[in-house]
Structure 1
Amino acid sequence: MLNYKQLHHFWIVARAGGIVRAAERSGLAPQTLSGQIATFETALGVNLFKRQGRGLVLTETGRMVLDYAEEIFHLGNELEEALRSRATGRAVPFRVGVADVVPKTIAWLLLAPSLDLPEPMRIVCREGKFDTLLGELAIHKLDVVLADRPLPQNMDVRGYSHALGDSTIAFFATPALVATLKKGFPECLDGAPLLLPGAEASVRGPLLRWIEAAHLHPRIVGEFDDSALMRAFAEAGAGVFPSAARVGEQLCRQAGLVHLGDAGGVIETYYAISVERRLTHPAVRAISDAATAPAQRGQAEEI
């Protein structure tokens, strides 16, 4: 039987990066922590740390154990929070980070299943830069991050990427702007004022390559890290803008924009990034299950 007290002491030392710092943060004596770690290693039959200079570093096995410990204690914190919420009749908080390059309508479509759970959820959305949100996810200030890319392999953040679906990219513009463009698609983009997502958007590179392959020469009049700001400029007639084809009907109906055509082969994929290998938060499971359910898979792949 795993000794969770010893696992907790290991977790404290691993997160602190050493016995002395862990003792300072936890209030426990260094000798206590050192003894607990030694007993834990003996019980498991493995070495979790190795000496490096005057300090300790995790072994490969230690890193694996730390991954599990992170999940175990994060889940324990969620359990306490859920029990407190139930006891007081409050909704369970669902803390979501949305990368600013993800279209807001797409974020709504992906998150909508979390609102249909039997247990009431209170969504707390934070929008920001991808790297910033991953940092908050790593310290458990967020339950999940919605992004247009998976977790980078070279990022010093423990996390797991769960694909939620994708969408072809299409071009839209106001009727007044369309009247000034060349006839036909994609010829209408040649010489047209074009709004582009910023350098952090994963779809930017494929879009530019598609434009180059089509021998088009639009005038890039704006670049935006925030997809909502780019849409606002487009609705004001500043330029043609690319967006997920999945929300094209809504853009045309609500914003009065015109669908010019699709960038064939340019696909934007959306991900839920969590610190858990196995999803445990009910709202995160709901959005993942909705995206992968057989009955909805066709729609999910278009989102």
Structure 2
Amino acid sequence: MEQLNLRHLYYFWVISREGSIARASEVLELAPQTLSGQLATFEASVGGRLFSRERRQLILTDLGRLVLGYADDIFVLTGELSETLRLAPSDRPLTLRAGISASIHKLIAYHLLQPAMAGERPVQLECQTGRTEDLVLSLKRKELDVILTDYMPKVQDDGNLTVHPLAGSSISLFAAPGLAGQLRDNFPESLNDQPLLANAVDAPYFERLMKWFSLNGVRMNLVARIDDSALIKVFGSQGYGVFAAPTAIQEEVCRQYEVERIASIDEVMDELFAITRDRRISHEGVRAICRTQPVDARFLPR
């Protein structure tokens, strides 16, 4: 079968739904003999009978049930497409395919995406997380509309990609309430020999934090490297150690994970960028992301 005849598939689908060729012929406004011939042609093309007759009723064969499953998916989607195309262009959902660096905190990613979701036009959001380098390849293949990252990739020499600085936030340290209370006094010396939960996805801000520790003579005890920002916070909430997160989301972190802030480190910044294919942005959602700075005053616009 080199090519499936979708018209024949549609005829088969209507016959299956109506339960007989006679009723289907009325729906399709075709003569029963014509419809029967079209069904026979389709059965020949798929290599088997789609219906068997039992007491003058059409019963789907195993092959028929298999084909019907695919036909249901195809024609339900076709119906949804028809309904969408009837809408005015401004009312049609806007698909936004965003790549998000795995090292970005999920709360930060939400804040960056929220301007695109808050517009008048409905948005169908598709998110893909991964390494920035891999996401850049997907962006070049036009599989993504925008990348949100805290890592400046080497795209300066690529004339087809544009980096848009978004915002930055200082970094704060958090821990379970009991541990946080002990470490606030005599900070940062109080951190020496204390348990540290590290980000395992090479987040740039974590590298800067390690340098800040070194410059200030702080040596912590690394107890875990975790590549999921939410899981780091869960371990921290259970008293397993100190973890870092952007100051901009400190209220949500403390409320959601029942931890407390130890201190903020203004010298260590989490910088955020959007990457697009072209300097001139045509996508409404991407424009909203790149144009709107976070309103939280704890973000520091670049």
Same fold (TM over 0.5): yes
1:257 equivalent in alignment to 2:270: no
Identity of aligned residues (%): 29
**Residue aligning to 2:149:** 147
Paired residues of 1:168 and 1:244 also in contact (CA < 8 A) = yes
Q: How does 1:160-179 map to 2 (within 5 A)?
A: 160-178=162-180
Change (3 A) 1:258 1:138: same
Counterpart Cα distance in 2 of 1:266 and 1:280? 34
Distance in 1, Cα, partners of 2:185 & 2:273: 36
Identify the range of structure 1 (233-242 vs 146-155) with the bigger mean alpha-carbon deviation: 146-155
Q: Distance in 1 between matches of 2:257 and 2:235?
A: 12
Please tell me whether residue 120 in structure 1 is matched to residue 119 in structure 2. Answer: no
Taking the aligned partners of 1:111 and 1:84, their CA distance within structure 2 comes to: 27
CA-based RMSD: 2.8
Give the match's secondary structure for 2:293.
Answer: helix
Q: Could you say which residue in structure 2 is the equivalent of 1:96?
A: 98
**Whole-angstrom distance in 2 between the partners of 1:161 and 1:246:** 22
Higher mean C-alpha deviation, range 180-189 or range 219-228: 180-189
The SS at the match of 1:188 is: helix
Conservation of the 8 A alpha-carbon contact between 1:135 and 1:157: no
Cα gap change, 1:300/1:215 in structure 2, threshold over 3 Å: closer, same or farther?
closer
Shift of 1:150: 2.3
> Residue 184 of structure 1 corresponds to which residue in structure 2?
186
Deviation by residue 1:207-230 (Cα, 9 ceiling, x = unmatched): 111001111111011223332232
Matches for 1:285-300 after TM superposition, within 5 Å: 285-291=287-293, 296=295, 300=299
Residues 216 and 236 (structure 1), Cα distance of their counterparts in 2 relative to 1, 3 Å cut: same
Q: Which runs of 4+ in 1 moved over 6 A?
A: 154-157
Q: Flag the structure with larger Rg.
A: 2
Contact 2:155–2:162, Cα closer than 8 Å, also in 1? no
Aligned residues: 219
Structure 1 residues 136 and 182: alpha-carbon distance in aligned structure 2, compared to 1, 3 A threshold: same
Aligned equivalent of 1:24: none
Q: Distance in 2 between matches of 1:280 and 1:153?
A: 20
Given the superposition, is the C-alpha separation of residues 259 and 298 from structure 1 closer, same or farther in structure 2, using an over 3 Å criterion?
Answer: closer
- Per the normalisation by structure 2, the TM-score is 0.65
Structure 1: 5+ residue runs without aligned partners? 1-81
Structure 1 pair 251–257 and aligned structure 2 pair: CA distance change class (3 A):
same
Separation (CA, whole Å) in 1 of partners of 2:108 and 2:100: 10
